[in-house]
A and B are shown apart, each in its own frame.
Chain A
């Protein structure tokens, strides 16, 4: 396999506390060396002047929709969107049709991802059979088939006994439970965050409490079982502070936040545009501020997109009927540059930690999340300054349900290397 040398770039690799302008050599699908070393004969040279060279970004919360939802996204289009957004690895959610609750379906997703050959895909499997919240899925077999964690994402696990048993059971596999923390009865028929704006618009609210009671419950269960709990898409002040206190007590809990919960507010629903309808809902200003602070102080470990493609015919409906969710793979990086780096909330090493190193650690993805010698040759070269206009044509995802269409973005992935192969380059 041919070798690649990336030169003159600012190598940001929090895994080895590295942040300097240096070279890196990739050979045989691995990182050969960082800094100085022998350049293999015939190696391709990439001049990364002015660029950030980072371990490949990892999005641990993506909906690829296939099998079953091919009108919204396929594994091919979704993973292409991931690569174009700068992600070399993604974890995909099991709420497909059929759901990923069988060895066959997990292996199908992995096969289709290999065939698409864009980026690494790590399936997440269901906690419960058919995501019905009744009985445990065959987690041992599913992890054996390649699932890296389990979640009933899309709905909360209402039965506390089932959740506790799942946590006890996964202990022997050392795999995380990913919790979609939502009390379904409290959010029944909800459309947006419960608060002043929902009251004014006459839209049924989804109270912060619906998230917070389940975060509190799951933390309690994680503490008593010792399981690894990961809270997905944290969006409320109460959830952030509950996770902060749990970490102080030594509970094995991690958390993610989405770019949209860091940058948008419930006020946006005044447009009645379904591109602002997501679950958890866009919250009010104080919750957004708490999420940003939680990310800054390390309470929230990582950034994940919750990329949720929906076809136009589904999304261009009355707001009460339209499904929850937006696409996020191709907007996450520029949004985080604009709202975190350029506003001095996070440094580059901190952002890379939250978009690569921590997701790799949470999902135990060996060889990922760092560019230390011997790691997988997954590299994202980032142009931190370029300005570009987000149009539907820029989106490689099959669905175009982005609230940022028409926005001028700052920064994006300039080139993406997966397993030592250049998958995408704007250089």
Chain B
């Protein structure tokens, strides 16, 4: 791409609409349809014009001179890599911070840790933590710094839901009116919570489906359909989002065996055959092949699991750019 044209793209991205007023992205709770659409539009543009554009320069230096810290208190591979790449694509310096190698193991509180790192001149924190609300805690304790939630316990994982929604929108051209089923460990899934919020705001019908020990009937009070039978909902669902069983978050074992879970809830060829012809299969990963999804389905033509990962970088570029541009 010629330099002049790249400048035009850059200039266009630099115009952030006044509709975006948020410094932090702590969750999809409370985001309007307009804000969600804006995020998705920016992500789509970053994907089309930077990430998958022709040529080799996949950088757009909108955040040149800014410093972003990945503050991860929980293990992560793809989210962390995705946020790192997104920050670097935008020209920011990205620093990695792992709880295991830090003073946290010496008993320092998360607020002290964040304040100390911020004092080094940091513009944004990307936080993953096993406690719901941890990003809010840090955002409330810091001045003049953006906080992006990369997953807080079983509460929210906003960028994952955004990339799920971007993937859906790419396939169907819309989200409104679609029926999206979240299948699996709803109780322990932050991905489910962020998806429910975002999808409902954008007008989708949401079904949560899984064993009754992992799917609270109270979701119905929030306008979400509850189903305990995957077989019963197969023909009327446009998108299946297959969630991993979060063994590490479960205090008690919610079902008798993995074998029984797979028998009742695994998306396999037999079940896929009963789905709509244009059904979309997505999964936040890491996927457990043979548990919530069989390998043939995961690698089949209905699956957009790999596409989701590309969208993840685009969504995180959009989130970083919009939040940091509002400081």
Contacts and interface: CB of A to CB of B under 8 A. Distances in A.
Given A195-B218, A200-B222, A318-B110, A189 B134 contact: no
A45 interface: no
Contacts of B188: 202
A200 B137 contact: no
> A-side binding surface: helix, strand, loop or mixed?
loop
Interface size class of B (residues with CB under 8 A): 20 to 34
A196 interface: yes
Contacts of B129: 318
Contacts of A272: 132-133, 136-137
A319 B109 contact: no
B98 to A, nearest CB: 17
B216 A318 contact: no
Contacts of A318: 110, 129, 131, 133-134, 137
Given A200-B222, A202-B155, A317-B109, A189 B251 contact: yes
A423 interface: no
Interface in A194-221: 195-196, 199-204
Contacts of A317: 109-110
B255 interface: no
B264 interface: no
B131 A319 contact: yes
B251 A320 contact: no
A201 B156 CA distance: 8
A313 interface: yes
Given A189-B251, A320-B153, A202 B218 contact: no
Given A188-B251, A195-B218, A202-B190, A316 B109 contact: yes
B155 A204 contact: no
A30 B221 CA distance: 59
Given A196-B218, A272-B137, A202 B109 contact: no
**Which of A188, A201, A316, A317 has the most CB atoms of chain B within a 10 A radius of its CB?**
A201
Interface in B150-195: 152-156, 187-188, 190, 193
A202 B153 contact: yes
A321 interface: yes
Contacts of B247: none
Given A199-B216, A204-B251, A319 B133 contact: yes
Interface string A267-297: 0000110000000000000000000000000
Interface in B39-63: none
A135 B137 CA distance: 42
Contacts of A319: 131-133, 137
Contacts of A313: 109
Contact of A201 (B111, B132, B137): B132
Interface centre among B29, B155, B219, B222, by most A CB within 10 Å?
B155
Interface in A145-193: 188-189
Given A202-B154, A272-B132, A272-B133, A196 B110 contact: no
B218 A199 contact: yes
B5 to A, nearest CB: 45
B35 to A, nearest CB: 19
B4 to A, nearest CB: 48
A372 to B, nearest CB: 51
Nearest to A203: B132
Interface in A242-273: 271-272
5 contacts: A199-B219, A201-B132, A202-B153, A202-B188, A203-B133
